[in-house]
Amino acid sequence: MKSVALVTEYNPFHNGHLYHAQQSKSITNSDISIAIMSGNFVMRGQPAIYNKFTRAKMALRAVDLVVELPAYASVSAGQYFAKTAVQIADYLNVSHLSFGSESGNMDDFLSLAQSIDKIEQSPLFLEKLKEGKSYPRILSELITDNDLLSSPNNTLGLSYVRAIQTYAPSIQPWTISRFQSAHHDNEISHQTFASGTSIRQSLMNQTDLWKDVVPCEIHKHYERPHISIEDTFNYLKYAILSQDATSLAQIYTMSEGIENRILQTIEQATSFEHLMTLLKTKRYTYTHIQRLLMNILLNFKKHDEPASINAVRILGMSERGQQYLKQIKKSFPERNFVTQVNKQNANLFTNEIHATKIYNLISGQTANDFNTPVIRI
Amino acid sequence: MKSVALVTEYNPFHNGHLYHAQQSKSITNSDISIAIMSGNFVMRGQPAIYNKFTRAKMALRAVDLVVELPAYASVSAGQYFAKTAVQIADYLNVSHLSFGSESGNMDDFLSLAQSIDKIEQSPLFLEKLKEGKSYPRILSELITDNDLLSSPNNTLGLSYVRAIQTYAPSIQPWTISRFQSAHHDNEISHQTFASGTSIRQSLMNQTDLWKDVVPCEIHKHYERPHISIEDTFNYLKYAILSQDATSLAQIYTMSEGIENRILQTIEQATSFEHLMTLLKTKRYTYTHIQRLLMNILLNFKKHDEPASINAVRILGMSERGQQYLKQIKKSFPERNFVTQVNKQNANLFTNEIHATKIYNLISGQTANDFNTPVIRI
C-alpha cells in the first residue's frame, strides 16, 4: 500500500486541512493518509484549543491514521520539528510526505535545498557562523535572490525537504499550494476556508463564523472548554517562581541568560500576554519566547531531548488505517506501534504522558493517555 | 531593658493572644514584648489566613516588636520550630520566653525536661531507638506517669524549655495558662476568647462571631481575601506533577518513600482535602503530611535547611520596640536586624522572600518583602 504523511496540528481541524488531505492522497496516488499530529501543545508555543484525543476524532474525517508527534518536537522550531516528523514518517514506512506551502511548486524547494547544501559548505558561511550570527540570518544574508524563505509555510516546507534528504531519502516530498486564506489571518472572511487563528478566535468569542469553514459532520466535537495560552499563566508563574537561574538554565531551548530576564520580570507579570510584553527583545521572536515558556511549564530539560524514535503512538485509525498498521507491523516486527498506553509501555511516552497531565490540570479535563483508547471509526 | 519573647502565629490575632502578651509582660516584669511570628505559612501546614504584614499590624496591638520566624521553621514540627524560635529570641537578647500551655505550671515543665534528659541517656532509650521506634513513641512508652505530654501546647512548651536549656540557657522560660478555649474548638462559644480555628471559620463563613473575640481597634485589618489551604491546591498539584520521585525525595521532611504514594495519588485528587484523604496513613499524622505538602509547594529542599541565624527580619515595631532595637544594635553591632529588605540584604532572607512570592501568587496579593516597609505605630 502506498501512503502519504501529513505533518499537522489540526488546531482545530478545518476545511483547509480536509482539502490538503484529500489532494495529497489523490495527487500522490496513495491508498493511505497519515496525519502526524502535534499532541496537547503546539508549535506556536501554546496548548491546543482542544486536547489531542478530540483533535484525533476531527482528523479522522480526513485521514486514515492519526499518530502523535512527540511532545518535545511539537513545541519546537522548524528544524527539530521537521526532523522528528520525518523520522516518524519513516518509522511508519510512508512513501510520500506532503506539505502545504505558499509556493506550491516542488521544484523550487528542491533547488533551494540544493543551494543551501552548497552554501553550508562555503567558507563564507563558516566565517559568518564564527562571527556569531544565527543560522536563519546567515541564510537570509547569503540567499538574496530567492523569496521562498519569506513565507512561513515555505520555510517549514524547506525544513521537511532537507530533513527527508538527510534522514529518510526514500520518502518522496510533495507540496500543495495553500488555499486562499493566509495562515495568520485574524478574521474569517472567505466562504469555505479560513486560518486556524481566525477559527480559534471565532470559537473563543462564541460566534458562529467557524461553522462555515469546518466540515459539518464534525461540528459536534467543537465544544467547550476552549483552552488558551492564558490558562497556563498561573502555573507558569508558579513554575518560574519556584526555580533559580541555575535550574531555569537547564530548560530546553533556554539560552544566553534569558533565564535572568524571566526571573526579573515574572513577579510583576499579571497575564501571559503581559509577561510576553515584558520579555520581548529584538534578539528573539515572539514565538521563540512563547515556546521557551511552554518548555518551562512542561519542565522539559535540555538533557532530556529525545535522540531517536523508539515507538509511535497511534491516536486514531479508520479500518483502512488499521490494515496499514497490521501490514507494517508484519514488515517491521521490531517497531513499536502503540494503540493503548499502559504501565508496560508508558516509558516510551514519558514526555507525552506528562504533557497530557499538565494539559488536563490547566484545562480541568480528565481524558489521559491511560484511560483513552485509540479512536476508531 | 528587660524583654519577653512570645512565639506566635497570630492566625489571626485575637483576645487570647492579647491576654497572653499582657500577662507575659507583667508577670515577667518586662519593659518590652517581642512576638516571634510565623510568616506567610504556619505550623499546621497551611498558608496564614492573612499575610504576615497584616498580621504584624494586628500584633502591634499587643506587642512592641514583631519579628519573623524563618520560613523553614514556621512550617516545621515542634523540635526544629522551637529550636529556631529560641535561637531568634537569643539573637534578640531577650531575658524571658513566655509560652501558653494547658498546664500553666512552670515547675512541671522543668522537672519533665530533667526526666527526659535522663531518659535519653538510659540504655533502654537507646535500645528502643535501635528497634526503629520514633522519638515521641519512645517517650510515651518510657514516661507513663506524666500527663503533661497529652496536650499539644504542653508538648510544644516542653520543646521551648528544652531548646532554651540547650541553646540559650540565659533565657528564663515562663508559662501562662491558656484561657478557657481549647486550641482546636471549631465554634466560638465563649464571650471573649476563642480558638484560631473557630475564628478562621467565622471569617471564612462571613459570620460576625469573630468580632466578639478580637480587639475592636484592629477589626479593620480582618478583611478579605481570607486565604485557605484549598487556594494552594492547583499549584501544589502542578508542582507534584512536574517532578519525578527522585526530585520529590529531595523535599524537606520527605521520608520513607512517601513521594511514591504522592505521585500515585495526585492525578486523581480534586482538592486539597481529597488529596489528604488519599494520602493519610497510620504512619503519619495529618499535620505531618500537610506540612510536607507545603514544603513541596514552597520547593523547600532538605539540603537547604538553614543551620544558623544570621539575621532577624523586623516586621513591625512600636516606638518602644524601636528603642529596644537601637539598644541591642549597640550591644551587638555584628548582628543583622533588618527593617527593610533590599537587593543588598535579600540573600539573608531567601526562603522568606520566596514564601511571600508563592503566597502572593496563590492569594492574588502584591505586598512583598521589598515593597512593604517595616510597620510602625
> Could you write out the DSSP letters of every residue in A42-59?
ETTTEE-SS-HHHHHHHH
- The pLDDT score that the predictor gives to residue A190 is 54
A235, A242, A299: residue with CB nearest B299: A242
Long-range pairs for A353-356: beta carbons < 8 A, 24 or more residues apart: A354/A71, A354/A298, A354/A299, A354/B241, A355/A39, A355/A40, A355/A41, A355/A71, A355/A298, A356/A39, A356/A40, A356/A51, A356/A52
Cα nearest neighbour of A268 on chain B: B366
Angle between helices A123-130 and A135-142 (to 10 degrees): 140
Burial group, residue A163, by CB count within 10 angstroms (0-12, 13-18, 19+): buried
Q: What is the pLDDT of residues A305-340, one digit of tens each?
A: 998 999 999 999 999 999 999 999 999 999 999 999
Per DSSP (E only), the strands in A161-244 are 172-177
Collect all residues with Cβ–Cβ distance below 8 Å to B338 and sequence separation of at least 6. Answer: B311, B312, B313, B314, B345, B348, B349
B241, B267, B361: residue with CB nearest A241: B361
- The pLDDT score that the predictor gives to residue A149 is 80
Q: Which of A8, A45, A51, A84 is nearest to A294 (CA)?
A: A45
Chain A residues lying within 8 Å of B71, measured CB to CB: none
Rounded Cα–Cα distance for residues A317 and B29 (Å):
82
Cα nearest neighbour of B364 on chain A: A270
Cβ-based interface (< 8 Å): residues of A facing B: 234-235, 237-239, 241-243, 267, 299, 354, 357-358, 361, 368
On the question of pLDDT at A151 being above 90, the answer is: no
Rounded Cα–Cα distance for residues A57 and A376 (Å):
8
Rounded Cα–Cα distance for residues A229 and A209 (Å):
22
Measured at the alpha carbon of residue B79, what is the angle toward residues B303 and B102, in degrees to the nearest 5? 155
Q: How many CB pairs under 8 A join A and B?
A: 37
Contact B167, B100 (CB under 8 A): no
- The pLDDT score that the predictor gives to residue A186 is 56
Which of B361, B368, B370 is the best residue to mutate to test the A interface, defined by the most A CB atoms within 10 Å of its own CB?
Answer: B361
- How many CB atoms lie under 10 A from the CB of residue B123? 7
Which stretch of A175-179, B36-40, B102-106, B107-111 has the lowest confidence by average pLDDT? A175-179
Contact B117, B26 (CB under 8 A): no
* Whether A238 and B368 lie within 8 Å, measured CB to CB: no
B235, B267, B368: residue with CB nearest A238: B235
Contact A118, A196 (CB under 8 A): no
Amino acid of residue B354 = H
On the question of pLDDT at A170 being above 50, the answer is: yes
Burial group, residue B207, by CB count within 10 angstroms (0-12, 13-18, 19+): exposed
Rounded Cα–Cα distance for residues A212 and B49 (Å):
51
Higher per-residue confidence, B50 vs B148: B50
* Whether A241 and B368 lie within 8 Å, measured CB to CB: no
C-alpha cell at A330: 508484519
* Whether A361 and B299 lie within 8 Å, measured CB to CB: no
Q: What is the mean pLDDT of residues A77-105?
A: 94
Cα nearest neighbour of B233 on chain A: A361
On the question of pLDDT at B231 being above 80, the answer is: yes
Q: What is the mean pLDDT of residues A210-227?
A: 94
Q: What is the pLDDT of residues A274-300, one digit of tens each?
A: 999 999 888 788 899 999 999 999 999
Rounded Cα–Cα distance for residues A65 and A59 (Å):
9
Average pLDDT of every residue of chain B: 92
DSSP A301: B
Give kind and range of the element (H or E) at residue A329: helix A319-331
* Whether B242 and A239 lie within 8 Å, measured CB to CB: yes
Long-range pairs for A199-206: beta carbons < 8 A, 24 or more residues apart: A199/A12, A199/A14, A200/A11, A200/A12, A200/A49, A200/A226, A203/A12, A203/A49, A204/A49, A204/A228
Say whether the peptide bond before residue A225 is cis (omega within 30 degrees of 0). yes
At A2, phi and psi to the nearest 5?
-85, 145
Task: List, in sequence order, every residue forming a beta bridge with B100; answer none if it has no partner.
Answer: B176
Chain B residues lying within 8 Å of A267, measured CB to CB: 357, 368
* Whether A241 and B357 lie within 8 Å, measured CB to CB: yes
- The pLDDT score that the predictor gives to residue A9 is 96
- The pLDDT score that the predictor gives to residue A354 is 97
Kindly indicate the confidence band of residue B278, based on its pLDDT and cuts at 50, 70 and 90. Answer: very high
On the question of pLDDT at B79 being above 90, the answer is: no
Pairing of strands A46-47, A65-69: unpaired
Rounded Cα–Cα distance for residues A144 and A141 (Å):
6
HSE, side-chain direction, 13 A CA sphere, residue A364 = 7
A234, A241, A358: residue with CB nearest B241: A358
A234, A267, A299: residue with CB nearest B242: A299
Which of A231, A232, A238 is the best residue to mutate to test the B interface, defined by the most B CB atoms within 10 Å of its own CB?
Answer: A238
Domain B3-102+176-181+192-226+307-376 top-level CATH class: alpha beta
Give kind and range of the element (H or E) at residue B33: strand B32-38
Going from the C-alpha of A326 to that of each of A94, A321, B149, B152, the distances in angstroms are 14, 9, 70, 66
The C-alpha of A221 sits at a distance from chain B's nearest C-alpha, in angstroms, of 25
Q: Enumerate the domain spans of chain B.
A: 3-102+176-181+192-226+307-376, 229-298
- The pLDDT score that the predictor gives to residue B200 is 94
Pairing of strands B3-8, B32-38: parallel
